[in-house]
Structure 1
Amino acid sequence: MRVMLRAHMDTAATNEGIKSGALPQAIKKLMETVKPEAAYFGLHEGVRSCWIVFDLQDSAMMPSLTWDLFQEFHAEIEVAPVMKAEELAKALGALHSS
């Protein structure tokens, strides 16, 4: 299932993670694990944030995928199913034809 992980990370924790190299390592590890369709990084609500779209093969992977973000960077994380525009059009077409 295609999902989007959104994480807002604590400023003090990410500052330390940048200095120590832990933040780039954690992001690299996450990217290598999920092999994202898309990944964006920026500011949201005044804190460092990321939006990562990937295929979640097994929901049991979530604890290990999010551990570093929670543990090291005190992140607030949301994961939600998402779809492409073509998939939405197909789903809406199916609703319209019923």
Structure 2
Amino acid sequence: MRMMMRFSIPVERGNEAFEDGTLGQVIQTVITETKAEAAYFMLEGGERTGYIFFDLEDVALLPKWNEIMFAALDAAIDVVPALTFDDLKRGLSS
């Protein structure tokens, strides 16, 4: 199932991670491990924020990916299903 992971990183911890070089490394690890279809980055509420879209084959992988972001970046994380328009049309037609 296609999922969207939204994460935001507190400013102070993000600054530390930027300075010590771990910010990009941690995000790259999650993108690689999830085999992301797409990833987008922006500022929301003054915090570094990212959206990663990926196909989830095993729900048991989520804690591993979440813990990487929690431990290294103090990130707040939401993971939710993400439907394409075709998925939505199929769901509405049943």
Q: TM-score range by the shorter chain?
A: over 0.9
- Cα RMSD (Å) of the superposition? 1.0
Provide the aligned length of Structure 1 versus Structure 2.
94
SS at match of 1:91: helix
Shift of 1:26: 0.5
Letter in 1 for 2:77: I
Structure 1: gaps of 5 or more residues:
none
Shift of 1:73: 1.2
Match of 2:12 in 1: 12
SS at match of 1:83: coil
Structure 2: gaps of 5 or more residues:
none
* Sequence identity (%): 35
1:62-95 residue CA offsets vs partner (Å, 9 max, x unmatched): 111011211121111110011101111121122x
SS at match of 1:88: helix
Between 79-88 and 63-72, report the one with greater CA deviation: 63-72
Q: Which has the larger radius of gyration?
A: 1
Q: TM-score, normalised by structure 1?
A: 0.90
Q: Which runs of 4+ in 1 moved over 4 A?
A: none
SS at match of 1:19: helix
Q: TM-score, normalised by structure 2?
A: 0.93
